[in-house]
Homo-oligomer: A and B are copies of this chain.
Amino acid sequence: MTAYTATVTVRLKRGVLDPEAETTQQALERLGFELEDLRSSDRFEVDLDADDAESARERATEMAERLLANPTIHDYDVDVAEA
């Protein structure tokens, strides 16, 4: 068993409204910053033991499917690195 860190990034699908990101963008603009767009996403770093990177990735993907992301409104990426 090797220790891996799986990073799951969960973002809203294109077209889903993101009022938090909009508010953040407006607040930055009010402070005088110029920006074209702002998107926010959640990142989960999961430390887990697995036989190899492929099985760590499978496990993290299942975590995303079952709990971390809502497939109706979210897309997600999984990256795996040895810890």
Residues of A within 8 A of B (CB): 3, 9, 21, 24, 27-28, 31, 33-49, 59, 62-63, 66-68
Q: Are B35 and A48 in contact (CB under 8 A)?
A: yes
Q: Are the C-beta atoms of B36 and A49 separated by less than 8 Å?
A: yes
Q: Select which of B27, B28, B49, B63 is within 8 A of A28 by beta carbon.
A: B63
Whether A46 and B41, one on each chain, are in contact in the complex, defined by CB atoms closer than 8 angstroms, is: no
* Residues B41 and A43 in contact, CB atoms below 8 Å apart: yes
- Which among B36, B37, B44, B48 is the interface contact of A34 at CB below 8 angstroms? B48
Q: A63-B33, A67-B24 are in contact. Are A40 and B43 (CB under 8 A)?
A: yes
Query: A38 and B44 in contact (CB under 8 A), knowing A24-B67, A24-B68, A68-B24?
Result: yes
